[in-house]
């Protein structure tokens, strides 16, 4: 198990040190458990990051995006599709015009969005073949990126949990 600790007085997150035995399952589970304790009191329900839309078009909230480059410390993204742009970074939290900066939910709760086309609640969400989201797994091999928690035209919720590739899915399955 991870025996290192940030001891920063706020987060106290565990991390493995060189002398620790290798226990990927236990270490990730320990970190996930600690994050469940640390994040809610801070009002954080998701891991998110600031990005810049460089796709040439407006991208709607909940659009899956992938990283194209980084300029002056700003991560540039564009619309992801299931067949050519894996893994995805996450889902846009808000609609972004071209060259506008905004937030991507990398993992956690994406709420107050239209999920009326993603039913039923509990459905697994995938990146569609032309981008966007679908509850039908594309034959082109898109991995799951989340689960629909609430179906609604204005108060929909998606739990962003995976990044559309085998590594994230295997990691998640290994913790189950």
The 10s digit of each residue's pLDDT in 149-159 is: 899 999 998 98
Same domain, 28 and 57: no
Look at residues 93, 105, 114 and name the one whose alpha carbon lies nearest to residue 156: 114
Same domain, 18 and 85: no
Contact 170, 130 (CB under 8 A): no
What total number of domains does the chain contain?
A: 2
pTM of the shown model: 0.69
Same domain, 67 and 36: no
Same domain, 149 and 96: yes
Split at pLDDT 50, 70, 90, the class of 79 is very high
Residue 175: CB atoms within 10 A of its CB come to 12
Same domain, 152 and 79: yes
Instruction: Give the range of the structural domain holding residue 21, as residue numbers without chain letter.
Output: 4-42
Look at residues 144, 169, 175 and name the one whose alpha carbon lies nearest to residue 158: 144
Give me the DSSP letters along 84-130: TS-S--EEESS-B-TT-EEEEEEEEEEEEE--TTS-STT-EEEE-BT
Same domain, 8 and 64: no
Is the pLDDT at 165 greater than 50? The verdict is no
Give the pLDDT mean for 16-38: 68
Split at pLDDT 50, 70, 90, the class of 143 is confident
Look at residues 49, 86, 85, 91 and name the one whose alpha carbon lies nearest to residue 70: 49
Is the pLDDT at 97 greater than 90? The verdict is yes
Same domain, 155 and 138: yes
Residue 82 pLDDT? 72
Same domain, 30 and 82: no
- Phi, psi angles (nearest 5°) of residue 96: -125, 125
Same domain, 23 and 55: no
Same domain, 77 and 20: no
What percentage of the chain exceeds 70 in pLDDT? 65
């Amino acid at each position: 198990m991870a025996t290192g600790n940030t001891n920063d007085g706020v987060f106290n997150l565990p991390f493995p040190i060189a002398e620790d035995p290798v226990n990927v399952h236990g270490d990730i589970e320990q970190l996930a458990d600690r994050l469940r304790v640390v994040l809610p009191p801070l009002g954080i329900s998701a891991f998110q990051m600031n990005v810049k839309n460089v796709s040439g078009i407006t991208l709607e909230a909940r659009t899956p995006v992938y990283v194209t480059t980084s300029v002056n410390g700003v991560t540039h993204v564009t619309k992801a599709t299931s067949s050519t742009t894996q893994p995805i970074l996450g889902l846009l939290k808000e609609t972004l015009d071209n060259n506008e900066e905004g937030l991507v939910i990398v993992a956690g709760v994406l709420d107050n969005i239209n999920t009326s086309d993603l039913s039923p609640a509990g459905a697994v969400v995938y990146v569609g073949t032309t981008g966007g989201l679908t509850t039908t797994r594309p034959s082109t091999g898109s991995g799951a990126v989340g689960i629909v928690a609430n179906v609604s035209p204005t108060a929909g919720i998606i739990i962003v949990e995976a990044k559309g590739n085998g590594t994230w899915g295997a990691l998640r399955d290994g913790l189950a």
